[in-house]
A and B are shown apart, each in its own frame.
Chain A
Amino acid sequence: MIIRPKAFFRGVRLAGHKFPAGAAERLPALPEVFIPLAQHAGAPALPVVEAGQSVRRGERIAAAQGAVSADVHASIAGTVTGIVTRPDGRGNTAQFIAIAAGETQEDAFLPPLSDPSKEEILQRIAACGIVGMGGAGFPSHVKLAPPVPVDTLILNGAECEPYLTCDDALMQKKTREVLRGARYMMQALGVEKLLIAIERNKPEAIAAFDAAGYDVVPLKKQYPMGAEKQLIYCCTGRKVPLGKLPAHAGVIVQNVATAFAVYEAVELGKPLIERIVTVTGGGIAQPKNLVCPVGAPLSALAAACGGEHDAVKLVAGGPMTGAALTGTDAVVTKTTGGFLFLTARETDTEDPTPCINCGKCADVCPMKLMPMQTAFYTNAKEYENAAKYSGVLACIECGACSYICPARRPLAQSIKTAKAELRRKP
């Protein structure tokens, strides 16, 4: 059934730049992967393997540490060559477990569950290291055990970021599997109501879910429609109270890719070791959706897509919220939706000009904040005033303000600075 969404007037309209999402191709076998220990929100996982140890595909190689954390599993079979510190592609270094591929690829999946109970599902999700695959990487077993009772699960297939088509590819080709994953999540939450939220620029995906007999909410193509609070409002008309969790509005939002991972974990016993990654942008020869093992280096993905040309900027994730990369040594993580090779024409390299106080940033802010005030007070290092006059702490960092700014001012950057400074203070 098609459900009419509630209107949401703020945000920006972005050019799609999306190539038609077909079936995702499998990345050719890799000689080596580098699996990061910190690919989720919360504490990094602790390695449980040593250099020289041989591992099978799907074996646990690092254990969750603390309440908010997730297990990490081997994405290829082979030998652990070491726990290495190497560049993470974002200008920093991080801890990785390096695995060299073995001669034979053996799987070590968990036994499939049939007719599992609520607890079994949550345990399985935790054991398979499933995290929110939309980008934040919040461990799913924590999110699926909310502190207050909820009544609705929303599957987020909005994919409002330009360029990315990985969720679209998944929704078109794996509709049944995604729905079965969603069923298990509903069972774990104890809810009856499921809404599937998809932006209108993906008619095939909408038709596929509608044909399966589920409630689909076709959303207006507007960025940031996929942001949790805005999505909940458009689907249910409920507003998440400021500073509270979506669960306080009675809703849990999960990405469609997470639902697919839950399906694989419960029915196949397969941990989260693979995901679909969009490799696109004007600087890549053949844009593709690739099924990649976690830890696959970007250079291998670029080679599988015909190589790069004229790319001045590499981005992990979407162009609005993704992180710029220093080079192709970045790897696929559980939360990587895509890699963009942007040419100088596509990206913005112009210098900012003075703010003319036009107020467009406030007009497009989906949280109704005043980004120009944040920038003003942050430049003066008056972070308390920034919080007072712009409401910066409620920012969801969607980047709409920076996008629309006619003076090309880095508003989102000021906001991130202000938030970091405000959190640092006691």
Chain B
Amino acid sequence: MRVLSTAPHIKTRRTTKHIMLDVLIALLPATAAGIVYFGWQAAVIIAVALAAAVLTEFVWYLIEHKFWRDTKTVVGAWAKQFDYTSLVTGLLLALTLPANIDGWYMPLLGSVFAVGIVKMLFGGTGKNIVNPAIAGRIFLFISFAAMTVYPAANFGPLLPDNLSVWQTHPLIKPTWTPQNALETGATQLGNLFNTKPLLSNLDLFLGTGVAGCIGETCKLALLAGYVYLCVRGVIKWYLPLLYIGVTGLFAVALEGFKFVYFLPSVLSGGLILGACFMATDYVTSPKSTLGNIVYFVALGLLTAGLRKAAGLEVVSFCILLMNFLVFLIDLAIKPRPFGYVRQKKEAKK
């Protein structure tokens, strides 16, 4: 008996699994940096989030496929179709949580919400409307006050005078950390530049002494992941740069074209993590290249604008918001085939 199918009869060996594995590999530097900077708590959060994400998917699959009839077959089928997407979701969620959240139940709840409600309830891989990790993070953010306080990295800023500045700064309340002072928009940024930068751009880049979520502080590690993703052809290199660049430039424009604001806006908060790993999520971004450009520019404008207006770190909210608009972008942009000739409009009578 011969195998019959329509052409083509050969296919690339690169499957969804490989792509997801590449994303996981690209996140490794940021994960390692997070564990080094924030200690064992970070490792626990990451482990719990990963385990909960995979378990949620597993349990969902078992129930969906009526495991009580034939458990062995269903478990085997699950292992065969497992494509690492829930691992990516779990890891991304953990990387967007602060390391000092009290209790292991928070990453667990976040993962269950992200995978169970946001992904599986909508139909599983490829069917979710919003990015599960972002939705999970925002779910935790609006549920727990602990999510709004970020610890600083174990290593102090590289430049010692900065340290003394932010410890003794009159404008900074005790609960404030330099990172959220930096990232929370206009007033803080204004304070910053009226006195003296609290953290040097180099510290922001390396994440030393920066307070923030586990995975977002070390920009160097994130950029290493970004380069890996580009080299492996997982993401288009210009899209994250578009988001980051537009955010920086619009922030500069909002501050009256003071270009000194560019690097702090770009390097603070979750912008780089969001731009490289969250906004580029295939499922929740537009299908066409032009649509993607529109989406990423809109994200940049929204992020800079909302940062200024709300005085909060808003990258995850912006991505969530834009996720809901993706279907409109997809409907608005129609392909122009090779050899397309613009139809001449009939002359008006």
- A residues in contact (CB < 8 Å) with B: 12, 14, 91, 162, 229-230, 233, 239-242, 244, 312-315, 317, 319-327, 340, 342, 346-350, 353-359, 362-363, 366-370, 372-373, 388-391, 394, 397, 399, 402-408, 410, 412-413, 416
Give CA–CA (A389, B333) in the complex, Å: 8
Q: Mind listing 15 A-B residue pairs with CB under 8 Å?
A: A229-B338, A314-B2, A319-B9, A324-B7, A353-B125, A357-B126, A358-B19, A358-B282, A359-B287, A368-B337, A369-B335, A370-B335, A373-B287, A402-B8, A403-B12
* Cross-interface CB contact of A322 among B9, B12, B16, B339, cutoff 8 Å: B9
Q: Mark B5-42, 1 if CB is under 8 A from A, else 0.
A: 11111111011101100000000000000000000000
A394 touches B2 (CB 8 A): no
**Chain B residues, Cβ within 8 Å of A372:** 287
Minimum distance in angstroms from A239 CB to a CB of chain B = 5
Q: Is B283 an interface residue (CB 8 A)?
A: yes
**Chain B residues, Cβ within 8 Å of A410:** 5-6
Q: Is B347 an interface residue (CB 8 A)?
A: no
B289 touches A362 (CB 8 A): yes
**Chain B residues, Cβ within 8 Å of A348:** 9-11
Answer whether A357 and B341 are a contact pair too, CB < 8 Å, given A327-B2, A406-B12.
no
* Cross-interface CB contact of A394 among B3, B18, B285, B338, cutoff 8 Å: B338
Q: Is B288 an interface residue (CB 8 A)?
A: yes
**Chain B residues, Cβ within 8 Å of A91:** 4
B125 touches A368 (CB 8 A): no
For residue B127, which residue of chain A has the nearest CB?
A354
B287 touches A370 (CB 8 A): yes
B288 touches A321 (CB 8 A): no
Q: Is B81 an interface residue (CB 8 A)?
A: yes
Give CA–CA (A361, B8) in the complex, Å: 13
The winner among A340, A350, A403 for most chain B CB atoms within 10 A is A403
* Majority secondary structure of chain A interface residues (helix, strand, loop or mixed): loop
B7 touches A242 (CB 8 A): no
**Chain B residues, Cβ within 8 Å of A229:** 338-339
**Chain B residues, Cβ within 8 Å of A349:** 3
**Chain B residues, Cβ within 8 Å of A324:** 2-7, 9
Give CA–CA (A416, B8) in the complex, Å: 12
* Cross-interface CB contact of A239 among B9, B14, B331, B339, cutoff 8 Å: B339
**Chain A residues, Cβ within 8 Å of B14:** 406
A320 touches B2 (CB 8 A): no
Q: Mark B269-291, 1 if CB is under 8 A from A, else 0.
A: 00000000000001101011100
A362 touches B6 (CB 8 A): no
For residue A359, which residue of chain B has the nearest CB?
B287
Give CA–CA (A363, B233) in the complex, Å: 11
Give CA–CA (A410, B9) in the complex, Å: 10
For residue B285, which residue of chain A has the nearest CB?
A357
A403 touches B18 (CB 8 A): no
**Chain A residues, Cβ within 8 Å of B12:** 12, 403-406
